Amino acid sequence: MPTRRRLLARCSALALVLVAGACSSGFDFGAPDPTTTQGEEVLDLWRGAHWAAAAVGALIWALVMFCILRYRRRNDELPSQSPENIPVEVFYTLTPLVVVAVLFVFTVLTQQRVVALSDDPDVVVDVVGFQWSWQFEYPEEEVTVVSNGFDTPRMVLPVGATVRLRLESPDVNHSFWVPRFLVKRDLIPGIDNEIEVEVTQAGEWEGRCAEFCGLDHYRMNFSVAAVPPEEYRAWLDERRADPVTTQAASASTGGAGG
């Protein structure tokens, strides 16, 4: 009996630690707080997968505990030594298949929403990643922000707008990644990769190349500033005075955090 109580106490403590960990992270399970509608979709999938894993884990623990307690040795009589149990075998074969199928369906549905492109985006930015920095061109506004290779370039976007990012590379593979967006996409020479983001809050966040692209890959940082629409228009007007701008976000090491 003391052994059983100790086991139950340890299981309860483990469950408490797991739940406390989930609560302390706001049930985000380690994911960054998203700043785009696409990121919120990804976070929902991330949360759902973790809760599903927790449910499966709880079921397994419950079954293990049931077997340990229910079929523990009480005397020298052997329990049934039947070599098969068809219903149980069907259950534990079908359950993983159902779990994988459900995760697959939710993943595909989320992916379709995240990679969807609108017919008429509010803002278009041509994002060029090159060895080893970035250029952000606003073709409809005739404004370009390009790094001199040392400064951290800054992309400015309006909050609440549908922004199409057309990703291009003139040399080798790179990857556009803003962690707080919770989405990233490769820039591949000769491939037209496009994503859309709708930023939901004002702020400034760091971005970086997420594909090792050569010796100075580590320098490929940039920042994204999301501002109210009127501030965005004012920024464009200011940039038009100097349409091709070498611009530093702040220091030369990754821009603002966030």
Residues that bind Cu ion (CB under 5 A): 174, 209, 213, 217, 220
Q: Which residue number, 208 or 239, has a Cβ lying nearer to Cu ion?
A: 208
Q: Which residue number, 174 or 239, has a Cβ lying nearer to Cu ion?
A: 174
Comparing C-alpha atoms, which of 239, 228, 246 is closest to residue 157? 228
Q: Which residue number, 38 or 133, has a Cβ lying nearer to Cu ion?
A: 133
Q: Which residue number, 43 or 127, has a Cβ lying nearer to Cu ion?
A: 127
HEC letters along the chain = CHHHHHHHHHHHHHHHHHHHHHHHCCCCCCCCCCCEHHHHHHHHHHHHHHHHHHHHHHHHHHHHHHHHHHCCCCCCCCCCCCCCCHHHHHHHHHHHHHHHHHHHHHHHHHHHHHHCCCCCCCEEEEEEEECCEEEEEECCCCEEEECCCCCCCEEEEECCCEEEEEEECCCCCEEEEEHHHCEEEEECCCCCEEEEEEECCCEEEEEEECCCCCCCHHHCEEEEEEECHHHHHHHHHHHHCCCEEECCCCCCCCCCCC
**Which residues are registered as beta bridge partners of 156?**
225
| Closest distance to Cu ion from the beta carbon of 254 (Å) | 14
Are residues 34 and 42 in contact, defined by beta-carbon separation less than 8 angstroms?
Answer: yes
| Closest distance to Cu ion from the beta carbon of 8 (Å) | 51
Q: Which residue number, 123 or 220, has a Cβ lying nearer to Cu ion?
A: 220
CB under 8 Å to 152, separation ≥6 — which residues? Answer: 221, 222, 223, 248, 249, 250, 251, 252, 253, 254, 255
| Closest distance to Cu ion from the beta carbon of 212 (Å) | 6
Q: Which residue number, 163 or 187, has a Cβ lying nearer to Cu ion?
A: 187
Q: Which residue number, 167 or 209, has a Cβ lying nearer to Cu ion?
A: 209
| Closest distance to Cu ion from the beta carbon of 133 (Å) | 10
| Closest distance to Cu ion from the beta carbon of 148 (Å) | 17
| Closest distance to Cu ion from the beta carbon of 48 (Å) | 31
| Closest distance to Cu ion from the beta carbon of 189 (Å) | 13
